[in-house]
Structure 1
């Protein structure tokens, strides 16, 4: 039940954030905001459902400890109720925002260490650090937290407590929400989400803005960029919300920003704050001077919702039982005896795998150009800058980025322990690479930031995040949207397991399916498609995979659709 609640919370928050990313920040007006004003006092924290209870008179040590942990589930008034359980010496120094440990409530065990010390043993399933980064644990191992107690006016109080809070999964889903901080790709074309989790309270907007100004998560450093000039901070540690307007007052470093930079700053703030229910627009001031900033349109890399596939009738979009071929591209792909393909947003370039290598197929040409003739190549990827990514299955470190003219550049990979690689796919914004590899006999799903040269040539991959993946042999991995991925593995009996993972959030195991060999994403999980070895295309309807097309040789990947 609690995992379902957490998924519901995540889905709702991400729907708001991704809607802004896709529609170019249209969800929050960006100009004509009122002047910086006074904070409107309120006794209500938004979206908080859990109300904590203070300590009871003559409570035992265990009752005090249990009550403190429960009360720390409520961030109302800076965790005022939880602080009632603390002795005066630590009431103001205990830092609940340092971390959150999410555990299985029925696994908690309270024991006395000595007359003035207690410990709680628990089994964490995930954690959130001080910057809001969520980590899901695949190996559930028990841990302990130790608390010292003291008598204050004849009542037990906690005199030493670890910073941070402990919440069970249900309370976490009620108190914390996901917020997609937004950074730019290196070309300043797309917004890239960096998911964080914060408790919903009056200061949530402040936490989000501070996290945005602090920069991206470590694994994204070098792959994304921010419009805020170095050293930019809030003039005071608060983002007032007046009449649904978040008023962001930045220090003098922001004076370095020109008009375009201010527009980009506004776009980042608007997208990052879009998940806060009490905020409908954003106003930027620099040292108290409100800026009039026009809206900056940011395109979203959505793909055509129809499947793109190679069939008996040719290569193109499956539409109403017919194949809608791509002018200039489809004839070349069909002539190559293709086994895999990926097409750019304008349908002017495709990367195609054939029995004798990987080809670049350009709409402006009449035949494809072989750009990689190495043996054992996996299905290639393509990025929005026109680079074809190619690697042999048995040589996972031999990753190449290849231009359409055939010139090659090696890319330093970040999976030195991998013995083989089954799938690679660059995100539609061109900032991250998803890779399904095999290490120590087990599949591993990785996502890493892409570092590029000034001309956008890929140079290296950053340290990867390890994502959830099923058991068995790795077959395929795909992007579902800008923050969600999916992987397909197969057991020895042919059963396919599909696992979806929100990067920075929770993973979900979908219904199993027989004899699947490939998965390809669309714009949502509902558009995730699986292909069987018999050529049947399946989509997940409620809890069953249903066949929607047949006679398909392979499903192609799209990077976007023509504007």
Structure 2
């Protein structure tokens, strides 16, 4: 402890990490291999602008290198491959090959994308006088070794990426082109757009800037931002942090000055939901300011929920499943009492094999026990059960209709697995003529399960091809009119690329899913994944044997519900272990 000296006040805002790791600059006389190793190590530091990593480069290479343009994530490596190291013919330089097994990239939009395959990049070094960033002639035996051809962007091992980067969901509104066509609800859904930012380098400011930059390319066609085009933080704004009352003030440029109050509330809601889940941020109110510093609008938690009424549908009063009498039954979200669901689907009038409940919990859809027909009925009255126009003609039961799924606008989805006529079907408001959905890139793969996100602009599919089942996430695009709607699923991307076999899945948040499957040569496991295919860290799930189906709510406070071959219907309350509910039961579902 110091026993003398003055006292200096420091900023102790909760967003600042307790420990930051900074790299070591190159040592005098370092060998080419030490320079390469030092540069790679510097990439794993908490240096905001990679200033130390640039010291390993020549001046010209430092000016060209763009570390924020991309991040490559490797399962093993990056390794300097000694078998591919060579000296230039005139002895003036060295070439190293960096290798590894690539699993993902993060682009300049902060968007994560699974990229499986081999990674290889050449790194070239020359001798340069001075400290490597000054002038001087290269060549000869004098001077220090520096990299004049670095790898593109940043290259990291998976463990370093997980330590340094933080998943954040930016929030936007479903655009009219993705949610109307004459048959959408008046209040647009909020859509989570997952990105990765650097964990220890002012994550609040990074998240705000990422939101103002707009949606990622994958979602750009189906979402809108209420922030005007060209809007940004006020010039000179370096860092944002909440005050001692957890209020965050966000100064904007002149593009925000004329924004109307209603639009400002929508903007603030986007910002509030984007920042709400940041660890240790604890933000309870956001205030948007004009360029002159005056208040444009402010929003707290309750007001943010009111500005996004569709988010209220993410909760659930009950969990549902099919009992041993093939009826739809339910149990309270915090209780174990099982009772028949109200209405015709719970009466036993029609035996069921699977079901789905609308997010408003006012209607349910059920697939007949033989898998051929789809029915829709009320959960509020005993009105007559409606048989939809969906029918499977497959010869075998396993090839007929999948479990249905409702989106947040009240539309119903189901897949027919008939090998002679494989189809994904969509029913506006759960009825009428079924529309065949065009799934781009599906080719001859079969859809074994379909779950639509609450916002209705993304769909999760378990697809089977050549005996392998995998999870795909697609973007939903809607066109046409209410009389002639057109629905398509485009740009399928891997949802759980680390798994060789996926058995079941369910949406478990705005951009998160829970998945049951196996990695190559492994045993069955339960795992949370982001909708971009990345694995959610620090969210381990207890093991459960023989899981055939699983259901989750967008409300993380509610328990998971699963069907196990050994234990029947079981529940997993937060922070607890799996608890049996009933031995005989199938097809657990939450609303959705």
The TM-score, its normalising length taken from structure 2, stands at 0.76
Spell out, residue by residue over 1:339-373, the C-alpha distance to the aligned partner (whole angstroms, 9 max, x if none): 11111233211111113400111235522111112
Q: Match for residue 121 of structure 1?
A: 98
Q: Work out whether residues 469 and 499 of structure 1, in 8 Å CA contact, stay in contact via their aligned partners in 2.
A: no
1:240 shift after superposition: 3.3
SS of match in other structure, 2:338? strand
Q: Match for residue 357 of structure 1?
A: 373
Spell out, residue by residue over 1:289-315, the C-alpha distance to the aligned partner (whole angstroms, 9 max, x if none): 533424233234444486412224753
Q: Structure 1 residues 215, 83: CA separation in 2 closer, same or farther (over 3 Å shift)?
A: same
1:183 shift after superposition: 1.4
Q: Match for residue 427 of structure 2?
A: 401
**Aligned partner of 2:110 among 99, 113, 132:** 132
Q: Work out whether residues 359 and 406 of structure 2, in 8 Å CA contact, stay in contact via their aligned partners in 1.
A: no
Q: Work out whether residues 345 and 377 of structure 2, in 8 Å CA contact, stay in contact via their aligned partners in 1.
A: no
1:309 aligns with 2:321: yes
Q: Distance in 2 between matches of 1:277 and 1:458?
A: 44
SS of match in other structure, 2:110? coil
Q: Match for residue 126 of structure 2?
A: 149
Q: Structure 1 residues 279, 170: CA separation in 2 closer, same or farther (over 3 Å shift)?
A: same
SS of match in other structure, 1:218? coil
Q: Structure 1 residues 407, 97: CA separation in 2 closer, same or farther (over 3 Å shift)?
A: same
Q: Work out whether residues 494 and 532 of structure 2, in 8 Å CA contact, stay in contact via their aligned partners in 1.
A: no
1:520 shift after superposition: 1.8
SS of match in other structure, 2:232? coil
Q: Structure 1 residues 83, 230: CA separation in 2 closer, same or farther (over 3 Å shift)?
A: same
Q: Work out whether residues 513 and 545 of structure 1, in 8 Å CA contact, stay in contact via their aligned partners in 2.
A: no
Q: Structure 1 residues 258, 161: CA separation in 2 closer, same or farther (over 3 Å shift)?
A: same
Q: Work out whether residues 443 and 471 of structure 1, in 8 Å CA contact, stay in contact via their aligned partners in 2.
A: no
SS of match in other structure, 1:530? strand
Unaligned runs of 5+ in 1: 1-39
Q: Structure 1 residues 499, 357: CA separation in 2 closer, same or farther (over 3 Å shift)?
A: same
Q: Match for residue 338 of structure 1?
A: 352
Higher relative contact order (CA 8 A, sep 6+): 1
Matches within 5 A, 1:212-231: 212-231=211-230
Q: Distance in 2 between matches of 1:48 and 1:102?
A: 23
Q: Structure 1 residues 524, 341: CA separation in 2 closer, same or farther (over 3 Å shift)?
A: same
Q: Distance in 1 between matches of 2:518 and 2:49?
A: 48
Q: Match for residue 449 of structure 2?
A: 423
Q: Distance in 2 between matches of 1:441 and 1:326?
A: 37
Q: Match for residue 481 of structure 1?
A: 509
Q: Match for residue 437 of structure 2?
A: 411
Q: Structure 1 residues 471, 145: CA separation in 2 closer, same or farther (over 3 Å shift)?
A: same
Q: Structure 1 residues 465, 236: CA separation in 2 closer, same or farther (over 3 Å shift)?
A: farther
Matches within 5 A, 1:135-284: 135-137=113-115, 139-153=116-130, 154-186=143-175, 188=187, 190-202=189-201, 204-236=203-235, 238-241=237-240, 244=243, 246-255=248-257, 257-274=259-276, 275=278, 277=280, 280=283, 281-284=285-288
Q: Structure 1 residues 536, 238: CA separation in 2 closer, same or farther (over 3 Å shift)?
A: same
Q: Match for residue 32 of structure 2?
A: 61
SS of match in other structure, 2:59? coil
**Aligned partner of 1:290 among 286, 294, 317:** 294
Q: Structure 1 residues 247, 131: CA separation in 2 closer, same or farther (over 3 Å shift)?
A: same
Q: Match for residue 392 of structure 2?
A: 374
RMSD, matched Cα? 3.7
Q: Match for residue 98 of structure 1?
A: 69
Q: Work out whether residues 450 and 461 of structure 1, in 8 Å CA contact, stay in contact via their aligned partners in 2.
A: yes
Q: Distance in 1 between matches of 2:382 and 2:433?
A: 17
SS of match in other structure, 2:162? helix
Q: Work out whether residues 148 and 160 of structure 1, in 8 Å CA contact, stay in contact via their aligned partners in 2.
A: yes
Q: Distance in 1 between matches of 2:490 and 2:515?
A: 21
Q: Structure 1 residues 488, 110: CA separation in 2 closer, same or farther (over 3 Å shift)?
A: closer
1:517 shift after superposition: 2.8
Q: Structure 1 residues 122, 50: CA separation in 2 closer, same or farther (over 3 Å shift)?
A: farther
Structure number with greater Rg is 2
Q: Distance in 2 between matches of 1:311 and 1:397?
A: 28
The TM-score, its normalising length taken from structure 1, stands at 0.80
Q: Structure 1 residues 303, 340: CA separation in 2 closer, same or farther (over 3 Å shift)?
A: farther
Q: Structure 1 residues 359, 239: CA separation in 2 closer, same or farther (over 3 Å shift)?
A: farther
1:429 shift after superposition: 2.8
Q: Match for residue 504 of structure 1?
A: 532
Q: Work out whether residues 208 and 272 of structure 1, in 8 Å CA contact, stay in contact via their aligned partners in 2.
A: yes
Spell out, residue by residue over 1:4-50, the C-alpha distance to the aligned partner (whole angstroms, 9 max, x if none): xxxxxxxxxxxxxxxxxxxxxxxxxxxxxxxxxxxx999x9646532
Matches within 5 A, 1:457-468: 459-468=487-496
Q: Work out whether residues 384 and 559 of structure 1, in 8 Å CA contact, stay in contact via their aligned partners in 2.
A: no
Q: Match for residue 435 of structure 1?
A: 461
1:70 aligns with 2:46: no
Q: Work out whether residues 483 and 502 of structure 1, in 8 Å CA contact, stay in contact via their aligned partners in 2.
A: yes
Spell out, residue by residue over 1:508-558, the C-alpha distance to the aligned partner (whole angstroms, 9 max, x if none): 797775544322223449833331457712456999985512343323422
Give the length in aligned residue pairs. 517
Q: Structure 1 residues 161, 305: CA separation in 2 closer, same or farther (over 3 Å shift)?
A: farther
Q: Work out whether residues 535 and 553 of structure 1, in 8 Å CA contact, stay in contact via their aligned partners in 2.
A: no
SS of match in other structure, 2:60? coil
Q: Work out whether residues 400 and 409 of structure 1, in 8 Å CA contact, stay in contact via their aligned partners in 2.
A: yes
1:60 shift after superposition: 0.9
Q: Work out whether residues 257 and 296 of structure 2, in 8 Å CA contact, stay in contact via their aligned partners in 1.
A: no
Q: Structure 1 residues 46, 282: CA separation in 2 closer, same or farther (over 3 Å shift)?
A: farther
Q: Structure 1 residues 216, 317: CA separation in 2 closer, same or farther (over 3 Å shift)?
A: same
Q: Structure 1 residues 211, 553: CA separation in 2 closer, same or farther (over 3 Å shift)?
A: same
1:193 shift after superposition: 1.9
1:423 shift after superposition: 0.4
Q: Distance in 2 between matches of 1:532 and 1:415?
A: 32
